[in-house]
Copies of this chain bind each other. A is one copy, B any other.
């Protein structure tokens, strides 16, 4: 079945000649003519053609019987079923990951006596005797040192040097090392593809590249488990990027249930695009943002049907996650925030400054991280991935424990930084000097002078900022699952909160300054430091990933109001412009380039004046193009050609003299057809003539029986003239998803351009090493 579909797409006229003829092909037992090899590019037009054929077949059959009609309806519905399943599974996995990370992160510090599988928060919820204030100090939760020494001590301040502190510190590092060792070992042994964030590879796969196993069941299982371990180990990484990979693995898994998706690489990619949306949806609790992320950042071919289905998958995933309720607050979003005061025009200045910071951080991070990853690839360093992970984990744990802002999990940190200081807030960051006259616990608290806690927190945050900036550069790209969203946001949120507190204190102490006079009366609540943290987080995330609309929409879904879109947008735009000034590629594109994947970015504008003739092969001094003639090549010639070259296909011309193109034949099809004919068809020997025409050529009677191969010939190969500007060729490759394109002049075949040639030419034009494009 599969074979016939693949082949018939290329030669529909023959199918039209009669159903009998068609049936012949259906019966022929070619195993998998139409599948692609690993690390090769797919041909989108061909996949689309095959799907239309399949659809046509089902439609015409559906009129035959009720059973076929039901089957056709099931087929039409399978897309929605796959989306539902993806939503359910990715939502469930995200919930499980959240719960497990919560528990294991707390396990590094202590254990719940009433039930060891409870996290700190859950443990203290269940103990009834605690009030709100000492929620964190319930008797059921015991730190390791307390448990071991057998008596509950008063918690000691940082750097105290007491025995219990040192013991806790030591055990914290030990747990971290254990988790990360387990993670890196599992990845190395069972699923090497489970490392990294996965987004660069998913982008490449969605653009039409085959990486077998990258979205397999093993990868799914190992990535889920090791993601929990990696995040729990306290390394500076997030689970958001890998969740996209996990969701795509779910998508791929469910594709295999339906032949519509499993046998068509184009259709499969539609499902994967939707799965990516579901991944972001559960990562942030932002379904619309997820769909836009998939549209803007990862997808390549995104028809409207996919938009609608992605939205469905993203919603199902978000609601599944909410019904699991891992955050224990019925909230969908990762960081729920609610601010009580509007922002003022003058605040745009610090917001834009945060945007500049985000852009600079993005540039710095991308350059440093790529340099480090290149070093890892090219030097001895890459040979000891386990040691590297252990070392980085050790350093991270050692430096992180003493500082309360780095000791806790990064998402908790971001959550606290985003928060507005309410009246009941007990955190150090909210240690303001209260006005004695004000006793009502209202939301709208006026600006107050900072207390010693805030100043202390500022110092610790500054140290945390430097630590996070440095350690993230070395963490991203190690052989464990590691996302970049959370560390980037943390850097931005810390910087933003510091700026926010500074502005707030300035406004309080100097409200007679001209810049504050108009909007900040004494006793008013005019500056929300939490909003600055949010703007900073958006700026830094934007600088690293170069997301724009989806970033703003994700942030909008977190706050749930249009009120704060302008500050977010100002920061995101500034950050993108600043970062783009230093280099167009975001972190994902940079990693794609580093790995040499054949990715044709839709955002790159090709503006050079080269023509197709400058890019096509053969070049001026190369040997002529390897072609087949329509009726004068022998089986042996073909076999020699296949052996001597490694091209993916060969053009077929009328004759070597006229060089008039009649079609294109895939290497894989040719190999299989000849192997098959040699085995099953009598009279086919090495000297048999291979012909691609309708009728056999006139040959002397003494010649062996010729072999007709018209059915594997693509009679509609894509051609451009040699005068076509490369910008048009690039556009055609991008929009039609071509694998190769033949170059002609006045109907004569001159050469061929493959996707690799296009990418190499683009690299060359941008003064990059064309040899960095490695795959075809």
> In whole angstroms, how far apart are the Cα atoms of A724 and B719 in the complex?
12
In the complex, per-residue mask of A642-671: 1 if CB is within 8 Å of any chain B CB, else 0: 000000000000100000111100000000
- Contact residue among B11, B52, B728 (Cβ-Cβ distance under 8 Å from A49): B728
With CB as the reference atom, state the residue of chain B lying closest to A307.
B549
A308 within 8 A of B: yes
Q: Are A45 and B731 in contact (CB under 8 A)?
A: yes
**Closest Cβ of chain B: how far from A173's Cβ, in Å?**
41
Question: CA A49 – CA B607 in complex, angstroms?
Answer: 9
How far in angstroms is the closest Cβ of chain B from A332?
A: 6
A727 interface contact, C-beta 8 A: yes
| Most B C-beta atoms less than 10 A away, residue of A305, A602, A723 | A723
Tell me the nearest residue of chain B to A322, going by C-beta.
B562
State A231–B562 Cα separation when bound (angstroms): 28
**A611: Cβ under 8 A from any B Cβ:** yes
A744-760 CB mask vs B (1 if < 8 Å, else 0) is 11111000000000000
Question: Measured between alpha carbons, how far is A55 from B736 in the docked complex, in Å?
Answer: 24
Whether A12 is near chain B, meaning CB under 8 Å from some CB there, is yes
Q: Are A602 and B296 in contact (CB under 8 A)?
A: no
Cross-chain contact A747 with B611 (CB below 8 angstroms):
no
In terms of DSSP, what is the predominant structure of the interface of chain A?
helix
Question: Closest B-chain residue to A747, C-beta based?
Answer: B747
**Interface presence of A587 (CB below 8 A):** no
Contacts of A746 in B (CB 8 A): 654, 660-662, 747
What's the Cα separation between A12 and B610 when bound, in Å? Answer: 8
Is A562 in contact with B728, judged by CB distance below 8 angstroms? Answer: no
Q: Once the chains are docked, how many angstroms separate the CA of A598 from the CA of B11?
A: 30
Nearest Cβ in chain B — how far from A599, in angstroms?
A: 15
Cβ of A199 under 8 Å from chain B: no
Contact A720 B716 (CB under 8 A): yes
Q: Are B724 and A716 in contact (CB under 8 A)?
A: yes
Interface flags, A280-305, vs B, CB<8A=1, else 0: 00000001100100011000000111
Task: Decide: A607 and B55 in contact? CB cutoff 8 A.
Answer: yes
Is the CB of A90 closer than 8 A to any CB of chain B?
no
| In the complex, A609 has a CB within 8 A of chain B | yes
Chain B residues positioned under 8 Å from A744 (CB to CB): 747
Cβ of A565 to closest chain B Cβ, rounded Å: 6
Given contacts A45-B728, A603-B304, A720-B716, contact A315 B548 (CB under 8 A): no
Q: Which of B45, B607, B735 contacts A736 (CB 8 A)?
A: B735
Known: A296-B307, A661-B746. Is A727-B52 also a contact (CB below 8 A)? yes
Q: Is the CB of B553 within 8 A of A288?
A: yes
Tell me if A341 counts as interface (CB < 8 A to partner B).
no
- Known A312-B569, A562-B287, A728-B716; contact A13-B736, beta-carbon cutoff 8 A: no
Cα–Cα distance between A566 and B307 once the two chains are bound (Å): 16
Given contacts A311-B552, A332-B562, A723-B13, contact A747 B48 (CB under 8 A): no
**A385 close to chain B: CB less than 8 A:** no
Q: Which residue of B lies closest to A569 (CB)?
A: B315
Of all A-B residue pairs in the complex, the 6 with the closest CB atoms, nearest first, are A747-B747, A715-B723, A716-B724, A660-B747, A660-B746, A735-B735
Instruction: Please give the residue numbers on chain A whose beta carbons come within 8 Å of chain B beta carbons, in ascending order.
Output: 9, 11-13, 15-16, 45, 48-49, 52, 55-56, 59, 287-288, 291, 295-296, 303-305, 307-308, 311-312, 315, 318-319, 332, 548-549, 552-553, 556-557, 560-562, 565-566, 569, 573, 602-603, 605-607, 609, 611-612, 654, 660-663, 715-717, 719-721, 723-725, 727-728, 731-732, 735-736, 744-748
Identify 14 new A-B residue pairs, CB closer than 8 A, beyond the known A288-B288, A312-B573.
A59-B607, A288-B553, A291-B549, A304-B602, A304-B603, A305-B603, A308-B548, A318-B562, A660-B748, A662-B745, A716-B723, A716-B725, A717-B721, A744-B747
Q: List 19 A-B contacts (CB under 8 A).
A: A9-B725, A12-B609, A49-B727, A52-B727, A288-B556, A295-B307, A305-B603, A307-B549, A311-B548, A312-B569, A315-B566, A560-B561, A660-B747, A715-B724, A716-B720, A716-B721, A716-B728, A719-B721, A736-B736
